[in-house]
Amino acid sequence: QQQVKQSPQSLIVQKGGIPIINCAYENTAFDYFPWYQQFPGKGPALLIAIRPDVSEKKEGRFTISFNKSAKQFSLHIMDSQPGDSATYFCAASKEGSGGGADGLTFGKGTHLIIQP
């Protein structure tokens, strides 16, 4: 029940295309859904996050779509660039009281390549 399932495992998109990465969760207590970007040899970097009270959130070229009834959320990258090539992880957690200290449950990651 704690799992977060992420797909696809890898994705190749031409520059300017819109890669879409999907995640599904099982635990209905989850109420915080971030996406992290990781470059080789680096730690995960927080990209964008959403809470279930909204169905979409945009920050720059990155958009999260959230479907609470289906327990699914996805990341869209608009006007993708070669510099966006990285591994992307979705995650989920409970917020807990006062912000909380809950650990993040990560998906298995998507290796994204943007071809020039």
Partner 1 sequence: EPEVTQTPSHQVTQMGQEVILRCVPISNHLYFYWYRQILGQKVEFLVSFYNNEISEKSEIFDDQFSVERPDGSNFTLKIRSTKLEDSAMYFCASKRRGAHNEQFFGPGTRLTVL
Choices 18-26, 54-62, 64-72, 92-100 (CB under 8 A): range interacting with partner 1 = 92-100
| Binding region for partner 1 (CB under 8 A) out of 19-27, 68-76, 77-85, 91-99 | 91-99
Task: Show the site string, 48-67: x = touches partner 1 by CB under 8 A, - = not.
Answer: -x-x----------------
Q: Is 82 in the site for partner 1 (CB under 8 A)?
A: no
Hey, which bits of the chain come out as E strands?
Answer: 4-7, 10-14, 20-25, 33-38, 45-50, 56-59, 62-67, 72-77, 86-92, 105-106, 110-115
- Mark residues 13-32: x for contact with partner 1 by CB under 8 A, - for none: -------------------x
Instruction: Report in angstroms how near the CB of residue 3 gets to partner 1 at its nearest.
Output: 10
Min. distance of Cβ 32 from partner 1 in angstroms?
Answer: 5
Q: Is residue 83 a contact residue for partner 1 (CB under 8 A)?
A: no
Question: What letter does residue 17 receive in the DSSP assignment?
Answer: -
Contacts of 31 (CB under 8 A, 6+ apart): 51, 52, 93, 94, 95
39 touches 109 (CB < 8 A): no
**Neighbouring-strand partners of residue 58:** 63
